[in-house]
Chains A and B, each alone.
Chain A
Amino acid sequence: MAILELKNISKNFGGVKALRGVEFELREGEIHALMGENGAGKSTTIKVITGVHQPCEGEIFLDGKKIVVENPKMGYELGIAAIYQHVTAFPHLSITENIFMGREIMNKFNMYDWKTMNTEAQKLLDEIGGDIDAKTTMSDLSVAKQQLVEIAKALSANARILIMDEPTASLTKVECEELYRIAKKLKNDGVSIILISHKFEDVFRLAERVTVFRDAQYIGCWDIDMITQPQLIQAMVGRELTQMYPTKSAVIGEEAFRVVNLSLMGYFRDVSFDVRCGEIVALTGLVGAGRTEVCQSIIGVTSLDSGEIFVENKRVRNHNPNEAYENKIGYLPEDRQLHGLILDMDIIKNTTLVNLDGFSKFGWMQNKEEEKKVVDIAGRMELKAGSLYDNPSTLSGGNQQKVVFGKLLINDTKVLILDEPTKGVDVGAKYAIYEVMNELAAKGYAIIMVSSEMPEVLGMADRVIVMREGRVSSIFDNFNLDQEQILAAALPDYNQ
Chain B
Amino acid sequence: MLAELGLAALWLAAALAGLQLIAGALALVSFNKGVGDGGTLAGIVRPVAVVQGLLAACALIALMGLFAQTDLSVKLVVENSHSAKPMIYKLAGTWGNHEGSMLLWVTVMGLAGGFVALVERRLPEPTMLATLAGQAFVSLGFYGFLLIASNPFARMSPVPAEGQGLNPLLQDPGLAFHPPTLYLGYVGLSIAFSFAIGALVTREVGPAFARAMRPWVLGAWVFLTLGITAGSYWAYYDLGWGGWWFWDPVENASLMPWLAATALLHSCGVLAARNALRAWTIMLGVIAFSMSMIGTFLVRSGILTSVHAFAVDPRRGSFILMLLAINIGSALVLFALRAGTVTEGERFAVTSREGALVFNNVMLSSILGIVLIGTLYPLVTEAFGQKVSVGPPYFNPMASLFFVPMVLVLMVGPLLRWRRDKLIRVRSLLLPGLVIGLAAAGLALWLGVKGLPYIGLVLAPAIAVASLMPLKGRNLRRLPLPVAGMVIAHFGVAVALFGMACDSAFSTEKLIAAHVGEVVAVGPWHVTLAGVEPVAGANWTALEAQLRVRYQDGDVFAMTPQARSFWAPQQNTTVSALHTRWNGQLYTVLGEQADGGRWQLRLWWKPFVPMIWLGGALIGLGGALALLGRLLADLKRIVVRDKIAYRRMRQGR
Asked if chains A and B come from one complex, the reply is no
